[in-house]
A and B are shown apart, each in its own frame.
Chain A
């Protein structure tokens, strides 16, 4: 049953472009997948590790900037620039992890926020390196094995490959022995230490892995937009991805993807009709918090169970 659902989901994702009338919607689907990878990476920290980060855009943005800089200023090929971007950003996540994990709770939130704000400041002010407000452009999309990704469908399928790998990785990661420990450190850190678990290292490894997948999302983001500006590192971007995780259901596999879809759709589709779409996003979030505080995916599951129970009784 579960396997059939997975096959159906993969088949559905593969044929999505065929059923969408315009490239515009295919591009939105690509954005949802990229946001899904990004939100999935944050979910490792927030949902499974109990560590709320308000600076996750730092990894997405840093990776996008490094890719852009290596491609346009240092003359690297797209492949090497991408690999460099992911490697350097993951290393940065390791350094930021050491700094952030000195605290937990609110302290952790504030350190992650501060570190991301530093990156935003650098991107905004260090004009000779980052192009400042103008950002960096002039790099194209990759051409894996000579395949042209300039069309919306080709790029969607390219992103889908990374999305599938990331989803598979996260689903194994959180159900592994390590993942069980990570969730234990979220629920009872003191107890976990008394059971022989190194709580700090468990969190640190997760922090770095989370940074890695945010960096992958950053490369795809840069490939999609072919342009990077300080906006990608802004606090609003960090808040938005946190919203995706919480709205969809932190600590669930599908939650962040559903959250990503809701936010991206509101942002792109609804904004075409409603000027104050951010207000609408806020209202949607308030409604979710009020009626499904655990998030959309667990909330819908709860309603489904209740309906089944009622049906059985009747």
Chain B
């Protein structure tokens, strides 16, 4: 039997008395591709923020590969193999693309606390950074500053940063948001290259892409899980048609 990579139990979060996540319980198996669906304000990104530790939950437990991380700091969760991308691109615009990746690599390296190891002389890191950029087709732009790249390239860089950390669980928050049709196809192709052993949970509004990518779908509405199942089960469910598809 495959073990659960990510397990949420009875998760609650409210902002000023307004519940954003209500009693969410779900389990994602190792290597699974899971899609989180729901209309705007359903609590999808909040749920991601709770899992990564960007936000503290009011109650409930979060387990990553069986370990309770509910009270663990966000940076410590990353060291357990949890990586994410952001819905709103969050990069270091003044730095080069390679530098952005190097920061991601250093985040998991012990040498991040070394005040005497000159970054420019860490050839190993720069080489790995270029490799990570090559993987998403940005190798030629390695020395360009992020501010001088297009939105689509920045989206790919977000993905490259997450993948460079060789995560065990990858949370993708709308990786196709704001992209042109061609760019979407590029990113979609990239998603298929993510190693099979990596567990991927994705929030995405492009249903065609998302449904073809995911093996199982969880639908959230007003912070609650209303349906969970395969593509066919979810599409056929009248509650989904009512709250999400507006039928």
CB < 8 Å: which of B107, B113, B117 contacts A192?
A: B107
Set of chain B residues within 8 Å of A172, measured between Cβ atoms = 115-116, 118
A26→B111 CA distance, assembly (Å): 42
Name which of B27-35, B60-68, B70-78, B202-210 contacts chain A. B70-78
A194, B118: Cβ atoms closer than 8 Å: no
Shortest CB–CB separation between residue B221 and chain A, in angstroms?
27
Chain A interfacial residues counted at CB < 8 A: 25
* Interchain CB contact under 8 A, A197 and B112: yes
Q: Are B114 and A192 neighbours in the complex by a CB distance under 8 Å?
A: no
CB nearest to A184 among chain B residues:
B103
Cα A199 to Cα B114 in complex, Å, equals: 15
| Chain A 179-222 near chain B by CB (<8 Å), digits 1 or 0 | 11100100110111111111101000100010000000000000
- Residues of B121-142 at the interface with A, using a CB-CB cut-off of 8 Å, are 122
Whether A195 and B103, one on each chain, are in contact in the complex, defined by CB atoms closer than 8 angstroms, is yes
Asked if A196 contacts B78 (CB within 8 A), the reply is yes
Contacts of B78 in A (CB 8 A): 193-196
Say yes or no for B84: interface residue by CB 8 A criterion: yes
| Complex Cα–Cα for A61 and B90 (A) | 40
Which of the listed residues B75, B78, B94 has the most CB atoms from chain A within 10 Å of its own CB? B75
State whether A196 and B75 are in contact (beta carbons under 8 Å apart), knowing that A175-B118, A176-B118, A180-B102 are contacts in the complex: yes
Beta-carbon contact of B119 and A196 below 8 Å:
no
A255 to chain B, nearest CB (A): 17
Q: Specify which of B74, B102, B115 is in contact with A193 (CB 8 Å cutoff).
A: B74
Task: Tell me the complex Cα distance, A176–B117, Å.
Answer: 5
A185, B115: Cα distance in complex, Å: 15
A177 touches B84 (CB 8 A): no
B54 beta carbon closer than 8 Å to chain A? yes
- CB-defined A-B contacts under 8 Å, sample of 30: A172-B115, A172-B116, A172-B118, A175-B118, A176-B114, A177-B119, A177-B122, A178-B112, A178-B113, A178-B115, A181-B112, A184-B92, A184-B103, A187-B92, A188-B91, A191-B86, A191-B91, A192-B103, A193-B53, A193-B78, A194-B74, A194-B84, A195-B75, A195-B78, A195-B103, A195-B165, A196-B79, A196-B104, A196-B108, A196-B112
Q: Which residues of B contact A (CB under 8 A)?
A: 52-54, 73-75, 78-79, 83-84, 86, 90-92, 94, 99, 102-104, 106-109, 111-120, 122, 161, 165
Known: A178-B117, A187-B92, A196-B104. 16 other contacts (CB 8 A): A173-B116, A177-B106, A177-B109, A179-B115, A180-B119, A188-B92, A194-B86, A195-B103, A195-B104, A195-B161, A195-B165, A196-B78, A196-B79, A197-B75, A197-B103, A205-B115
Q: Which A-B residue pairs are the 10 nearest by beta carbons?
A: A196-B107, A195-B107, A196-B78, A178-B115, A193-B74, A191-B90, A176-B115, A180-B119, A177-B117, A195-B104
